[in-house]
Amino acid sequence: MTVLEDPTAPIIIPTRDEAKIARRERIRLLMRSPAFVVGLIILAFWIVCAIFGSLIAPQNAQADDILNKLAAPSGDHLFGTDRLGRDVLSRVIEGARTILIMAPLATLLGTIVGTAIGLVTGYYRGAIDEVSMRVVDALLSVPIIITALLAIAAVGTSRLTLILVIGVVFAMIIAKTVRAAVLGERELDYVQAARLRNERSPYIMFVEILPNVMGPIVVEFTVRLGYAIFTIATLAFLGFGADPSIPDWGTDIGEHYSFISAGVWWAVLFPAIAIATLIVAINLIADSIAQTFER
């Protein structure tokens, strides 16, 4: 009787790394999506403005010119001037910096803290989960603007306060998303296998489970980024901008909307368009990324 080769001889798989291929495939799919590409172009434009604002801006965004205040758009001032005679175009260009620093920082803070909370509550369940989720529900029942206003009233307005407040509120929302994903993962047997090696809980949460819930976290980050921009602009509009002298879209709108009835539309419209394009761009990107993870 002949003995053939061991039936278990494995299929030889090309040694290319599947994860890398998957990542490349995802990027390829993204680049084929028009929504993503448009979003990316708009976002890139604002990032360039944020970094090189003062170089691109045709005039000094902070230079007053009282004699020439509230001038309509013209050859000298393409977007017109504001109530202090500052060039609106230059302020719109330089205004990108404030928001593109604060919003990502706030969102990143929220994502990191939220992920940690979500992992812990989802993994342990029980009393910790019960209590913290009720606290989260209570906090989220109050509109974020109100929470932010309360915090600002308590500790005073500053960039740091804004970032912290938005970060904390977002952390709650992101924690819920992450918790839901972790609840599914913890039932899988690889978690039991880790417990059978007597792994510590932090290892199980952050090394075993975390990589498997990265998809929802990335999606949540991009979605929240859009909301962060909206929230920061709103607070600035209400007069809680970080620093009145620095160009800021929300602050500028807030300072000029009362002039609209007098026919001065340009000082409000152009910063508003800037906010809208940035949020739309980020939402386009967020949607496209969410779709590639759903596949």
Partner 1 sequence: MNEPAIQLQDLEVVYRVRGVDRPVLRSLSLTVEKGESYGLVGESGCGKTTAAFTIMRYLPRNGRVVSGSIHADGDDLLAMGEAEVRRLRASTVSMVYQNPGAALNPAIRVGDQIAEVFRLRGHDKGESLDRAQEMLRKVQISDPAGGMRRYPHQLSGGGQQRVVIAMALASDPTLLILDEPTTGLDATVEAEVLDLVAALRQEFGTSVLFISHNLAVIRKMCERVGVLYAGRLVEEGEAETVFTEPRHPYTVGLLRCIPRGGLRKDRDRLDTIPGYLPQLGAHLPGCVFADRCGLVKEICRTDEPPLHPLGNGHSSRCHFHDKAAAVPYTGSSIPAGAAATANGEGLVKLENASKTYSHEGSTVRALVDVDLSIAAGETLGLVGESGCGKTTLARVLLGLTPADEGSIIELDGRRLAARIVKRDAAQVRALQTVFQNPDSALNRRFTVRRIIGRALTKLVGARGEQREQRLREIASSVRFDERLLSARPVQLSGGLKQRVAIGRAFAGEPRVVVCDEPTSALDVSVQAAILNLLADLQAEEGVTYLFISHDLGVVRYLADRIAVLYLGRLMEVGRAEAVFNPPHHPYTEALLSAVPTLEGEERPRIRLEGEIPSASDPPSGCVFHTRCPRYLGAICDEQEPPLAEVERGHFIRCHIPVDELRRIQAEPPPPRVLQPTESNTTS
| Site residues for partner 1 per CB under 8 A | 1-13, 15, 17-19, 188-190, 192-193, 195-199, 208, 211-212
Helix ranges, the chain (H): 18-32, 34-56, 88-124, 126-140, 144-155, 159-186, 189-196, 201-203, 214-235, 249-256, 266-294
Q: Please, is 45 exposed, middle or buried when counting C-beta atoms within 10 Å of its C-beta (0-12, 13-18, 19+)?
A: middle
| Closest among 277, 285, 230, 292 to 39, alpha carbons compared | 285
Q: Are 225 and 103 in contact (CB under 8 A)?
A: yes
**Tokens at 293, concatenated:** 């993870």
Residue 10 C-beta: closest distance to partner 1, Å: 4
**Spatial distance between the Cα atoms of 148 and 152, rounded to a whole number of angstroms:** 6
Residue 219 C-beta: closest distance to partner 1, Å: 17
Whose Cβ is closer to partner 1: residue 1's or residue 67's?
Answer: 1
| Closest among 110, 85, 241, 86 to 164, alpha carbons compared | 110
**Spatial distance between the Cα atoms of 269 and 257, rounded to a whole number of angstroms:** 9
Residue 24 C-beta: closest distance to partner 1, Å: 15
Whose Cβ is closer to partner 1: residue 144's or residue 191's?
Answer: 191
CA angle 193, 199, 201 (to 5 degrees): 105
Residue 222 C-beta: closest distance to partner 1, Å: 21
Residue 148 C-beta: closest distance to partner 1, Å: 37
Residue 224 C-beta: closest distance to partner 1, Å: 24
Residue 11 C-beta: closest distance to partner 1, Å: 6
Whose Cβ is closer to partner 1: residue 189's or residue 294's?
Answer: 189
Residue partners of 272: CB distance under 8 A and separation at least 6: 249, 253
Rg of the chain taking only CA atoms, in angstroms? 25
Q: Are 119 and 178 in contact (CB under 8 A)?
A: yes
